[in-house]
């Protein structure tokens, strides 16, 4: 039967064609007794580890000749890897979020198969990054978790739990990806700031690092402050309302899980308040940098 003109198949964005085909082609390895695939997550972790160890560690240690034992050098390699992950992830998230109606509590099954595969791939990519980050965090600290890193570990656990539950329930994935997008969109600026503020202590005066650091710090502070004080809270209010006070939310996601998600997402935004306050201070100071060449980062960063 011929298809009417107004029933034409929607064009699949190229980037989602890529993610859909990649996920379909990847092997499927599920947790025993379940249909919960972990293969794409594992592959993502391995690829991100390879990017860190094969590209960015050699770049800072061999090309720039920074001290391989310095915490600054290791953190810059980690930040560079994080920037690549954020750029890849956010480009995909933008596409999936724009190609379906925005409903934080929608069921995955209501979307086309290509969209489901793309979304699952991106959720697993982000999960893989969380495992990668935990691995390198521990490796850089002699296979232990430093007390200063507990907040990051807690954030990663919450994020992985949220994404995993969305996949198990087959609902709420849009809320997870929306939060991932607004959370990760500031990542390149934040990690770029980490790199430049450490670089001005590793490189001599007069190098490009000293020229760009004030601008990177100011722009990062401006964007981060806006995202965390305006966009983030508004987004979380809407998600919380959808989970707890709409019929669709209560039908698609058990109320006790909805409460758990609300607590988690508010915990993350409230937990980021020290960085938000810091970002406002950076904006207030203009191009006068907070983290100058003589800033003392503590014993872990001794030169």
Where residue 204 falls among pLDDT bands split at 50, 70, 90? very high
Is the separation of the CB atoms in 99 and 11 below 8 Å? no
Backbone Cα Rg of the chain: 21
More confident residue, 34 or 57: 57
Read off the tokens for 192: 């770029």
155: left (phi over 0), alpha (psi -120 to 50) or beta: alpha
Average pLDDT, the chain: 93
pLDDT confidence band for 3 (50 / 70 / 90):
very low
The pair of three-digit structure tokens given for residue 27, joined into one six-digit string: 């092997």
Please determine, for residue 8, whether its predicted confidence score (pLDDT) is greater than 70.
Answer: no
Q: What is the pLDDT of residues 111-140, one digit of tens each?
A: 999 999 999 999 999 999 999 999 999 998
Q: What whole-number distance in Å separates Cα of residue 119 and Cα of residue 117? A: 5
Which residue shows structure tokens 């014993």?
299
Q: How many residues can be counted in the chain?
A: 303
| Residue 3, CB-side half-sphere exposure with 13 Å CA sphere | 6
- 273 Cβ partners below 8 Å, 6+ apart? 228
Quote the CA–CA distance of 21 and 69 in Å, as a whole number.
41
pLDDT bin (cut points 50, 70, 90) of residue 300 is confident
Q: How many CB atoms lie within 10 A of CB 25?
A: 7
pTM for this one? 0.93
Distances (CA, A) of 209 to 187, 197, 206: 19, 8, 8
Structural tokens at position 289: 């940098």
Residue 5 pLDDT > 60 = no
Answer for the pair 276, 222: CB distance below 8 angstroms, yes or no: no
Alpha helices by DSSP H, listed for 29-112, are 39-51, 57-58, 71-98
pLDDT in tens, 134-188: 999 999 888 888 888 898 899 999 999 999 999 999 999 999 999 999 999 999 9
> Partners of 30 in the beta sheet?
37
């Amino acid at each position: 039967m011929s298809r009417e003109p107004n029933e034409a198949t929607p064009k699949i964005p190229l980037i989602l064609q890529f993610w859909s085909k990649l996920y379909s082609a990847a092997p499927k390895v599920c947790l025993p007794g379940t249909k919960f695939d972990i293969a794409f997550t594992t592959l993502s972790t391995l690829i991100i580890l390879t990017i860190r160890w094969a590209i960015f560690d050699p770049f800072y240690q061999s090309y720039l000749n920074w001290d391989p034992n310095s915490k600054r050098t290791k953190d810059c390699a980690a930040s560079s890897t994080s920037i690549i992950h954020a750029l890849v992830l956010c480009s995909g998230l933008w596409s999936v979020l724009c190609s379906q109606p925005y409903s934080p509590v929608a069921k995955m099954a209501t979307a086309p198969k290509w969209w489901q595969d793309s979304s699952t791939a991106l959720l697993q990519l982000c999960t893989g990054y969380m495992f990668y980050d935990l691995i390198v965090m521990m490796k850089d600290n002699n296979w232990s978790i430093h007390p200063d890193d507990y907040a990051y570990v807690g954030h990663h656990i919450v994020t992985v739990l949220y994404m995993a539950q969305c996949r198990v329930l087959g609902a709420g994935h849009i809320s997870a990806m929306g939060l991932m997008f607004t959370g990760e969109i500031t990542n390149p600026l934040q990690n770029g700031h980490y790199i430049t503020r450490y670089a001005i202590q590793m490189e001599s005066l007069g190098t490009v690092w000293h020229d760009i650091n004030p601008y990177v710090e100011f722009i990062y502070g401006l964007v981060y402050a806006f995202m965390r004080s305006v966009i983030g809270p508004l987004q979380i209010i809407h998600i919380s309302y959808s989970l707890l006070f709409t019929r669709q939310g209560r039908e698609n996601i058990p109320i006790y899980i909805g409460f758990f998600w609300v607590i988690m997402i508010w915990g993350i935004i409230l937990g980021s308040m020290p960085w938000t306050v810091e970002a406002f201070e950076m904006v207030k100071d203009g191009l006068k940098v907070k983290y100058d060449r003589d800033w003392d980062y503590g014993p872990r960063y001794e030169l």
